[in-house]
Structure 1
Amino acid sequence: MTSTAHVEGTVVETGAFRPELDHLEPQVPTDPYALAALMDNDPGGDGTGRNLPDLYARFLAQEPTAHASDLWGRARTAYDHLHADLAGE
């Protein structure tokens, strides 16, 4: 596992899909504004790997690294724009 916080030796077990349990959507959107909206609900990493796989790790697993970096940068800009305090302007 790369680009994500996890304890050395972490093991990830998989199992059959059970619709009654919480699960992550397998595909992460590539639209910067949709990705920015997901950032609000993604818990920050705490260094323990408890939120593995985090949004960024899932995104890197899905997209080529250079493309993912570009889209992630656009999503961060969109996130900042969506959360800008316009009241002071």
Structure 2
Amino acid sequence: MKRGLAPNILYYYILISTTANACLYSCSYRSRMRAQYNLEETPYVHCLVHFCCTTCALCQEYRELKSCGFDMGIGWEANMDRRRHGITAAPTVIPGITR
């Protein structure tokens, strides 16, 4: 059975356009985070980092937010609410008696 070239072209067009859109979307958040926390844009520009290795870029952002006191379990809005009320770090829990 002979298949045409059109389905292949359509597949690659969708693949490239969704990858580029996801890269630009996540790159904008990385740029905002860099501006908010005075982070360096090294060794490469943000869009290039997200395009070449999105997973690595997201891991870096996760670690940076966690080191700034964000609690990843409660979500963005709850963290922003905590910031507005002056709470900058996650509360420390003192473990109970262990056997």
TM > 0.5 fold call: no
Which protein has the bigger helix share?
2
The structure whose RCO (Cα within 8 Å, separation 6+) is larger is 1
Task: Give 1 or 2 for the bigger CA radius of gyration.
Answer: 2
Question: TM-score normalized by structure 1?
Answer: 0.31
